[in-house]
Amino acid sequence: MSLLEVQNLVVEFPTRRGTLRALDDVSFSIAPGEILGVVGESGAGKSLTGASIIGLLEPPGRVASGQIRLEGQRIDNLPHAQMRHIRGRKIGAIFQDPLTSLNPLYTVGQQLVETILTHLPMSAAQARQRAVDLLKDTGIPAAEQRIDHYPHQFSGGMRQRVVIALALAAEPQLIVADEPTTALDVSIQAQIIQLLKSICKTRGAAVMLITHDMGVIAETCDRVAVMYAGRVAEIGPVHEVINRPAHPYTAGLMASIPDMEQDRERLNQIDGAMPRLNAIPNGCAFNPRCPQVFDRCRAERPDLMPAGATQAACWLHAVEKEVA
């Protein structure tokens, strides 16, 4: 059974010049203990999908249609006060810049204890002990002393560990991690990735990992959803998507990764750029940049369809089916 189900999600932003559709018919699910990677270029809709699940859409953005269900309960239409209780208790969040997640005027201990007391029935002493244990679990040395330090007294990697401890404070079932390793150096990045994997294994929590780094996806995730122009272009087991990409956009992303075994002066690149929300082309949104485009791609928009071991929104696989 799925822990999280996103069904036909549409997010719109009303403007003076018309309504912009930022997410268009996005569907996926995450099982308990699973890490789902969400990858794509800037502007693909990755972070917006995460914000919609957490209930942190910036006005005037709104969920226009579709449903978001957590443990079978619909959460996209809940009142703000009710969603605030779910956020933190059932859904934890890890953001890209830990300094924006931590209040510089309070010690990390005060922030952890407040979060714990808000969501769990504990005394202040029990909450402080839990906060110390969380800091230890996330790899912060001398946690008994560091708990009384302020965010500016921690390095970038240590601050991110504090943010992860905050996300875990109320034992949520789902963690939305929005590019949690982007601002960190490679060695710290590897430690954070290992920590996320350990969280899934030991706590049974599910993780939605938003990133633009296919290397992080390959190292961390069980499944991956590739997004383009507000839609899911391909979704499937991570090793299948990486080794046998079924969508030309996924293939382009994979080809742009440096290969240590080949000596090349230039990397491959996908020509063109992500379309603006007010200029998404007819048919498949990727068709102006696609090296395998044909007439149907310009006229009809494909939905996700079986493509080997994955699903891809690409007419190439409908052609294969028709020929077969």
Q: Which residues form the domain of 140?
A: 103-171
Same domain for 220 and 277 = yes
pLDDT in tens, 162-212: 998 999 898 899 999 998 877 677 777 788 888 888 888 888 889 999 998
Same domain for 73 and 115 = no
Domain end residue (candidates: 171, 186, 208): 171
Domain end residue (candidates: 140, 171, 202): 171
Query: Is the entire prediction scored with pTM above 0.85?
Result: yes
Asked, for residue 96, whether it belongs to a domain, the answer is no
The predicted pLDDT at position 324 comes to 42
d(CA 205, CA 179): 18
d(CA 221, CA 193): 10
The predicted pLDDT at position 181 comes to 79
Asked, for residue 80, whether it belongs to a domain, the answer is yes
Same domain for 115 and 158 = yes
Asked, for residue 98, whether it belongs to a domain, the answer is no
Total count of domains within the chain? 2
d(CA 92, CA 189): 20
The predicted pLDDT at position 322 comes to 53
The predicted pLDDT at position 9 comes to 97
Same domain for 139 and 17 = no
Domain end residue (candidates: 114, 144, 171): 171
The predicted pLDDT at position 319 comes to 60
DSSP state of 152: G
Residue 268: φ, ψ to 5°: -65, 150
Host H or E run for residue 246: none
The predicted pLDDT at position 323 comes to 46
Same domain for 116 and 199 = no
Asked, for residue 95, whether it belongs to a domain, the answer is no
Contacts of 57 (CB under 8 A, 6+ apart): 11, 48, 51, 63
Segments in the chain below pLDDT 50 = 323-324
